[in-house]
Amino acid sequence: MLRDEPDQAMGNRTTDFNPDWIGMIMLLISEPVKIAVVQERWRRAIEDVAMDRQTTDVSKQRAGSL
């Protein structure tokens, strides 16, 4: 390719957005967000179970043993 010839890849670009690329970009953005949300929900659920167990353990003790 000669230096003064335009790059064909650049010359063939269109200004229209390709829906396939937009979908792929949205997928790349949304999947990590979904994973982060699920991880946060699991973390909260595990904390809730731990708190419930502590509450249950305390409520099983006799009143005078506290």
Which tokens sit at 22? 């937009």
Nearest to 51 by CA among 61, 62, 59: 59
pLDDT band at 36 (very low <50, low <70, confident <90, very high): very high
Average pLDDT, the chain: 77
pLDDT band at 55 (very low <50, low <70, confident <90, very high): confident
Per-residue pLDDT, 44 = 95
Helices (DSSP H) in 1-66: which residue ranges? 8-11, 19-60
pLDDT at 8 over 90: no
The residue ranges of every structural domain in the chain are 31-55
